[in-house]
Amino acid sequence: MFNKIKAFTLIEMIGVIIIIGMLLLIVFPATVRLIKGNAERKFNQYYDLIEEAAILYAKNRVDDLGGVSGTGCIEDITLSDLISETSLKEFDEEGIVCGSPSEFILSEYDDIDSNFDYVDIRIRNNKGKLSTEISLICVKGKKVSYSKLIEKKGSCDKYIAEAKNVLYDDISKLTTQTDDNINYFVTGSNPNNYVLYSGKLWRAIGYNSNNKTIKLVSNEVVTLLPYDNTSSEYYNSNVDVWLNNKFLSTLRTPDLYLYNDNWNYTTVSNSNKPAETNVIQSKVGLLNYYEFNKVKDYLSTNYNWWLSSMASSTNTWYVTNSNSVSNMQVSNFLGIRPSIVLKSNITYISGGTGTEDNPYKLDGDTTGNSGSFLNTRYAGEYVMFAGNKYRIIETNNNYTRLISDNTLDSITTIFDNTTINTYNSGAKIGKLLNEEWYNNLSDTDKSKLVIADFCPSIFNNTSEYTISCPVSNTINIIVGIPKIGDMYTLPTASGEYWTLSNFTDELINTISVNGTISGHSIDYVSGVRPVINISNNVKIASGNGTSSNPYILQ
């Protein structure tokens, strides 16, 4: 006899359906999240592969980017180029990264050209949307490095660049006083307007509300120069040429960061706003009398420094060490305090609150890391060598030039005791540094030094600045001393010191504690401030390049 099979009632069927529906409500979102998570992980994995491939591509193309000098840009390349020239593979699944390889383009930052050292590479999809940012890729000295700039956020079709902090937005919030479209910082109470750029500390003095640019002035005097040899006109003066050649070369990718601004050097008799009679356009300049007067209370230093405003045909205004304004003939040597203007799109993501101890740090303009080469760093940063603190004054493809932060303890000497009136290994001061001082170094420290050319002067007998040193005048030596016009050849607390630069055919220039440059005979006694050249294969072990935490070398 067959058993009767009981059928589901309508109510039971409805109950089963409800239970199944509830299970689907629970399981389906989790399944969708899992699928999306897998897609996101695949995108992240492929994104990392793209980074690796881009770096490998750059390494393979170093010669195309400047040969052994190794400075230059990666031209626009597609992912297909990376696939064909590296181990990068095609996408495993179409659409995982919102498009096929041919629909993504690696493109450079809009303002990049072939003379730049750094490339801001971005990935764009076929709709032109910025999909995500790979990294800053630096090619210098046959070394390629990068730093990831942003986090990837959102689902596959929403991989867009993370909003960055634009420096203008924070700077413009500070209390200001307005003059037309230029907003100047109200002086006093230490406003948070310090910016770190190219290893140098700057202070924002104001911003232009029309084009959203920010004007900065160096927080310190960077060298001593004669304003000019004849005319008080700023354009093409010694200072103008030095700033837009020598000093400009110490800044990180200036065409990317700096605005080509108008610099007003019109003749004035007081601090009133000047007419625009004499104006030039350049990337680096000097503050004029009017600008300084707007923000003078927090620009005080111990040195005299030039302004750009003419006082007469032969005299130019300058700021005294008591922070007042006076004028002087242009042939005198005074301090140089460069001024620059940051573009409106400059961002910072590396931290910083704008204080002197914790300045704003510009996006991509980071300090040296452990293992990075010293010659990738910037003039102004500090280095420990042989137990003494030095500052970088120049970098190139062969060496990094350092100047002792002070004169050697308790060491003073005559320049020579015979007839030698140019620095070399035969002069008494040259023997002291290249024999006695050098021989006291450890073998490890000696191995870091290289012989290099030293130029006695970049000024002729009429105090006119020349961009390059005549080859016939160069000295090939291990340890030198500074010349007039070198970076950070400022007065030191430990006393006067010798320079390479002749005052006349018989007299040698010294720099005194008050910033005076004087000529002395070779039997005069003065201090000694070594200048050395670190090999370009020396790396950083630790430190961040500041005075309180200088780079320690490997």
Contact 425, 434 (CB under 8 A): yes
Determine which of 40-49, 271-280, 362-371 has the lowest per-residue pLDDT on average.
Answer: 40-49
Q: Greatest CA span in the chain, whole angstroms?
A: 135
pLDDT digits (tens, 9 = 90+) for 83-103: 555 555 544 333 333 333 333
Rounded to an integer, the average pLDDT of 56-84 is: 47
pLDDT digits (tens, 9 = 90+) for 446-460: 999 999 989 877 766
Cα separation, 346 vs 284, in Å, equals: 17
When pLDDT is cut at 50, 70 and 90, the band that residue 171 belongs to is confident
Rounded to an integer, the average pLDDT of 507-511 is: 90
Query: If you search the block for the tokens 């498009």, which residue do you land on?
Result: 99
Measured at the CA of 58, the angle between CA 54 and CA 60, to 5 degrees, comes to: 115
Joined together, the tokens standing for residue 105 give: 């383009």
When pLDDT is cut at 50, 70 and 90, the band that residue 21 belongs to is confident
Say what the pLDDT of residue 64 is.
45
Whether residue 487 has pLDDT greater than 70: yes
Query: If you search the block for the tokens 């006076």, which residue do you land on?
Result: 326
Joined together, the tokens standing for residue 528 give: 């000694």
Residues in the chain: 554
pLDDT digits (tens, 9 = 90+) for 45-61: 555 566 566 656 555 55
3-state SS, residue 168: helix
Say what the pLDDT of residue 464 is.
66
> Where is pLDDT greater, at 309 or 122?
309
Cα separation, 367 vs 344, in Å, equals: 23
Say what the pLDDT of residue 410 is.
76
Say what the pLDDT of residue 19 is.
79
Say what the pLDDT of residue 44 is.
54
Whether residue 288 has pLDDT greater than 90: yes
> Where is pLDDT greater, at 149 or 283?
283
Query: If you search the block for the tokens 């040296």, which residue do you land on?
Result: 368
Determine which of 224-233, 341-350, 446-455, 503-512 has the lowest per-residue pLDDT on average.
Answer: 341-350
Whether residue 244 has pLDDT greater than 70: yes
Say what the pLDDT of residue 298 is.
86
Joined together, the tokens standing for residue 440 give: 């006291």
Q: Which residues contact 389 (CB under 8 A, 6 or more apart)?
A: 382, 383, 404, 405, 406, 547, 550
Alpha-carbon dihedral 419, 422, 423, 425, rounded to 10 degrees: -50
pTM of this prediction?
Answer: 0.72
Say what the pLDDT of residue 494 is.
78
Say what the pLDDT of residue 252 is.
84
pLDDT digits (tens, 9 = 90+) for 329-340: 998 889 999 999
Whether residue 115 has pLDDT greater than 80: no
Q: Which of 256, 288, 285 is nearest to 271 (CA)?
A: 288
| Mean of per-residue pLDDT scores for the chain | 76
Measured at the CA of 248, the angle between CA 245 and CA 251, to 5 degrees, comes to: 155
When pLDDT is cut at 50, 70 and 90, the band that residue 107 belongs to is very low
